[in-house]
Amino acid sequence: MKKREHHEKDNSERWLLTYSDLITLLMIFFVVMYAISNVDAQKYQVLSQALGEVFGGISGGSSVITSGGGIEINVSPVEGENDKIDPELIAAADKIMELVKEKNLQDKVSVSIQERGVVVGLMNTVLFDPGSARIKSEAIPTLVAIGQIANGVHNYIRVEGNTDDVPQNSAQFPSNWELSVIRATNVLKLMIDQSGVAPNKISAVGYGEYRPSVPNDSPENRAKNRKVDIVILSDKLDKSESEAAETPTAP
pLDDT of residue 61: 40
Give the Å distances, CA to CA, from 59 to 26, 36, 48, 94, 234.
28, 17, 6, 19, 14
**56 compared with 203, residue with greater pLDDT:** 203
Question: Does the pLDDT of residue 116 top 80, yes or no?
Answer: yes
Q: What are the structural domains of the chain?
A: 86-246 (3.30.1330.60)
pLDDT (tens digit, 9 = 90+) per residue, 142-171?
A: 999 999 999 999 999 999 999 999 999 899
pLDDT of residue 53: 43
**66 compared with 95, residue with greater pLDDT:** 95
Strands 117-123 and 202-206: unpaired
pTM summary value: 0.70
The string over 76-92, giving b where at least 16 C-beta atoms fall within 10 Å of a residue's C-beta and e elsewhere, is: eebeeeebbbbeebbbb
Question: Does the pLDDT of residue 223 top 90, yes or no?
Answer: yes
3-state secondary structure of 82: helix
Highest mean pLDDT among 1-15, 36-50, 237-251: 237-251
pLDDT of residue 26: 81
Return the amino acid letter for 155. N
DSSP bridge partners of 162: 227
**193 compared with 55, residue with greater pLDDT:** 193
pLDDT class for 25, splitting at 50, 70, 90?
confident
Query: If you average pLDDT over residues 14-18, what whole number do you get?
Result: 68
pLDDT of residue 2: 54
pLDDT of residue 52: 44
pLDDT of residue 151: 97
Query: If you average pLDDT over residues 1-20, what whole number do you get?
Result: 61
